[in-house]
Amino acid sequence: MDIDEGTLKSARRRFKREKLRNVEAIHGAADNPKLPSNLDAVLSVRAYHEYEMLAETLPAVKAALKPEGVFVVIDEWPIRTMNRPREVQLKNHVLAPSLVEEDLKKAGFEILHRDDEFLDDLDKEEAQWLISARPLSK
C-alpha cells in the first residue's frame, strides 16, 4: 500500500519482473490504507514516519488483520534527534520506536516483539528498528 502512484507502478513492475504472485500493490489514501480484510500480516517498511493520520490509519490496519494477524513496522532510528520532539524527528524522516510502540498500544495493539537493533550497519549513519504487534481484540 502506498499513496504515491509512481511508487506503486515501480512496485508492480518489480512484482512482474520477479514473478511475485502473492503480493498486491494497493493505492491507499492518507486517511485510509484501503487494505482488504482478513489479512495474515501487514508490513510497513521505512514508511510509518510518513503516516499523517494515525487516528484513521492504525484502526484501519487493525480492522484488516485476522485476530491472530500481525502488523510489522520497520523504520529508521532518529540517531541525532532521539531526544527531540516527535515533530523534529518526523522532519528528518525518522521516528523513535518508543513513540511507535505507544501509538500501537493506544490503537489497541499488543506488542509481540521489539528489536531496536534490527538492522545496524556500523559503517553507515543509519539503523533500523522493528516492532511486531497484533490486535488485542476485534
Residues 15 and 61 in one domain: no
User: Who contacts 124 (Cβ-Cβ below 8 Å, separation ≥6)?
Assistant: none
**Tell me, what CATH number does 43's domain have?**
3.40.50.150
Residues 3 and 16 in one domain: yes
41-66: b (≥16 Cβ within 10 Å) or e: ebebeebbbebeeeeebbebbbebbe
Helices and strands (H, E) in the chain, number of each type: 4, 4
pLDDT in tens, the chain (138 residues): 888 899 999 999 999 999 998 888 889 998 899 999 999 999 998 899 999 899 999 999 999 999 999 999 999 999 889 899 999 999 999 999 999 999 999 999 999 999 998 987 766 667 899 999 999 975
Residues 8 and 61 in one domain: no
Describe the chain by its helix, strand, coil percentages, rounded to 5.
30, 30, 35
Q: Is the pTM of this model over 0.85?
A: yes
The total number of structural domains in the chain stands at 2
Q: Which domain holds residue 88?
A: 31-135
Residues 13 and 73 in one domain: no
Q: Is 106 helix (H, G, I), strand (E, B) or coil?
A: helix
